[in-house]
Amino acid sequence: MTQDHSALLAQLDALRSADVGAVFAELIRAGLQALIEAEATEAIGAGRYQRTDGRSTHRNGHRPKTVSTTAGDIEIQIPKLRAGSFFPSLLERRRRIDKALHAVIMEAYVHGVSTRSVDDLVTAMGVGSGVSKSEVSRICAGLDREIEAFRTRSLTHTSFPYVFCDATFCKVRVGAHVVSQALVVATGVSIEGTREVLGTAVGDSESFEFWREFLASLKARGLSGVHLVISDAHAGLKAAVVQQFAGSSWQRCRVHFMRNLHGVVAAKHAPAVTAAVKTIFAHTDPADVAAQWDQVADTLSSSSESGGDDG
């Protein structure tokens, strides 16, 4: 009894001289840990080293977990089991909040929000300690793994007769510089009629070498059965299609064609020209397409000549 009393007095002396914030943090940690251990004991059906008929499994060490509290971040230990899994119910709500917070951080990361802005956002949400650049990287590491798994997945589950290739330009950090590069996306239409993003890459969309490597990577992952590739009129892409998909055809994308057309037509004539050209696309028989093409060309040519300088 004397030893216990002396130990208690020593602890009280230590508490008096300690930082108040640190004391509260330790009290919260000890209380949470005690509740967690009690719940683990109930889940197992026996205490540590206890032999009972109701025991369902055994402990297998602990794993650390950092929890944010009003007294700051504290580290607790979650018991691991040899069979099954265990997570304390008192942290379930915290886990749901963490998942929501991580989702917000990843969404901001995907949209290019700076780490400083993410930190401000997290602080505004009530997490007083904010989030560091390394923490953002850690949280988003799982997102990077999922993206990489998607980009490198096998494409052997079906064939894709039609492949659409498109590019959009975005700012990319290369070393110490931010430059504009093309993000290209290949979308396939499967033999079943479903659409699926086949792959993405960042690079020089005007380069034959870039397109050759990109299309070759799709083939290496199992892309097969390609009959038609639809894209803008990139010379490098057209040459790469001939090399990588022998026997397939290439077609200029209608959307890009119409954009190019609008670039050489006066704005006031654009609606009429667009409507006329769309009548060509409405046909499916090659002979009908050719006939409608000639008719539209004659009509627009006559209109341009009669319009004089206004054309």
Delimit the domains of the chain by residue range.
2-82, 95-151, 157-252, 254-311
Q: Phi first, then psi: what are they for 166, rounded to 5°?
A: -140, 160
Q: In the chain, at which residue ranges do the beta strands (DSSP E only) sit?
A: 59-69, 72-81, 162-174, 177-189, 195-203, 228-231, 249-252
d(CA 210, CA 283): 35
pTM, two decimals, is: 0.58
> In this structure, is the dihedral angle defined by the CA atoms of residues 254, 257, 261 and 267, taken in order, positive or negative?
positive
String of DSSP letters for 70-139:
TTEEEEEEEEEESSS----GGGHHHHHHHHHHHHHHHHHHHTT--HHHHHHHHHHTT-TT---HHHHHHH
- Give the model's pLDDT for residue 71: 65
How does strand 59-69 pair with strand 72-81?
antiparallel
In percent, the amount of the chain with pLDDT more than 70 equals: 78
- 25: which 2 tokens? 């943090």
| Higher pLDDT pick, 123 / 302 | 302
In the predicted model, is pLDDT for residue 309 greater than 50?
no
In the predicted model, is pLDDT for residue 169 greater than 80?
yes
d(CA 273, CA 262): 9
- Give the model's pLDDT for residue 19: 61
* CATH 3.40.50.300 matches 157-252: no
| Higher pLDDT pick, 6 / 196 | 196
Q: What is the mean pLDDT of residues 262-278?
A: 85
- Give the model's pLDDT for residue 2: 47
- Number of residues that this document lists for the chain: 311
- Give the model's pLDDT for residue 213: 96
| Higher pLDDT pick, 41 / 188 | 188
> In this structure, is the dihedral angle defined by the CA atoms of residues 96, 101, 105 and 111, taken in order, positive or negative?
positive
pLDDT band at 126 (very low <50, low <70, confident <90, very high): low
Contacts of 96 (CB under 8 A, 6+ apart): none
User: How many other β-carbons are positioned within 10 Å of the β-carbon of residue 210?
Assistant: 20
Q: pLDDT, tens digit, for every residue of 64-94?
A: 887 766 667 778 888 888 887 787 876 765 5
**Span of 75-84, 181-190, 280-289 with lowest mean pLDDT:** 75-84
How does strand 228-231 pair with strand 59-69?
unpaired
- Give the model's pLDDT for residue 308: 45
Angle, CA 156 vertex, CA 150 and CA 162 arms, to 5°: 90
Q: Phi first, then psi: what are they for 15, rounded to 5°?
A: -65, -40
- Do residues 220 and 214 make contact, with C-beta atoms less than 8 angstroms apart? no
In the predicted model, is pLDDT for residue 307 greater than 60?
no
